[in-house]
Structure 1
Amino acid sequence: MERRRRVPNPLALAVLAWLMWEPMHPYELGRRLKQTGQDKLIRYTRSSLYMVIEQLARAGFVAAQETVRDSARPERTVYAITDEGRHEVHDWLRSLLAQPRQEHPHFAVALSLLSLLPPDEAVEVLRRRSAALAGRIEETRTTIDEARADGVGWIFLVEEQYALALLEAERRFVTDLIESLKQPDYAKSWQETMGGRA
Structure 2
Amino acid sequence: MPKSKRSNLLALAVLSLLNESPMHPYEIGVTMKKRGISDTIKLNTGSLYAVIDHLLKNKMIRAKETLKEGKHPARTIYELTPAGYDEFFDWLRYLVQKPVKEYTQFAAGLAFLAHLSPHEAYELLRKRKSNLAEQIKTIRSSIDITQQSGVSRLFIIETEYELALLEAEKIWLEQIIRDISEGLLTIRKSDEWKWSK
> Is the TM value for this pair above 0.5?
yes
Q: Distance in 1 between matches of 2:78 and 2:154?
A: 27
Identity of aligned residues (%): 37
Instruction: Report 1:125-140 matches (<5 A).
Output: 125-140=124-139
SS of equivalent to 1:102: coil
Matched, 1:55 2:60: no
Q: Distance in 2 between matches of 1:117 and 1:190?
A: 19
C-alpha deviation, 1:197, in angstroms:
5.0
* Paired AA for residue 117 in structure 2: P
* Paired AA for residue 178 in structure 1: I
Output the aligned Cα RMSD.
2.0
1:59-102 deviations in Å (ceiling 9; x for gaps): 01100010010113110000010111000000000000010111
Q: Distance in 1 between matches of 2:132 and 2:76?
A: 42
CA contact (8 A) 2:29 2:43 kept: no
> Which residue is 1:175 aligned to?
174
Question: How many residues are treated as equivalent by the alignment?
Answer: 196
> Which residue is 1:145 aligned to?
144
CA contact (8 A) 2:118 2:193 kept: no
Q: Distance in 2 between matches of 1:101 and 1:187?
A: 30
Q: Distance in 1 between matches of 2:16 and 2:195?
A: 56
1:149-193 deviations in Å (ceiling 9; x for gaps): 001111111001000000000111111100000114547979945
Unaligned runs of 5+ in 2: none
SS of equivalent to 1:74: coil
C-alpha deviation, 1:44, in angstroms:
2.3
* Paired AA for residue 78 in structure 2: Y
SS of equivalent to 1:4: helix
C-alpha deviation, 1:194, in angstroms:
5.2
Q: Distance in 1 between matches of 2:94 and 2:183?
A: 46
SS of equivalent to 1:73: coil
> Which residue is 1:163 aligned to?
162
Give the alignment's TM-score, normalised by structure 2.
Answer: 0.93
Q: Distance in 1 between matches of 2:152 and 2:159?
A: 12
Q: Distance in 2 between matches of 1:8 and 1:197?
A: 38
Q: Distance in 2 between matches of 1:132 and 1:61?
A: 41
CA contact (8 A) 2:187 2:193 kept: no
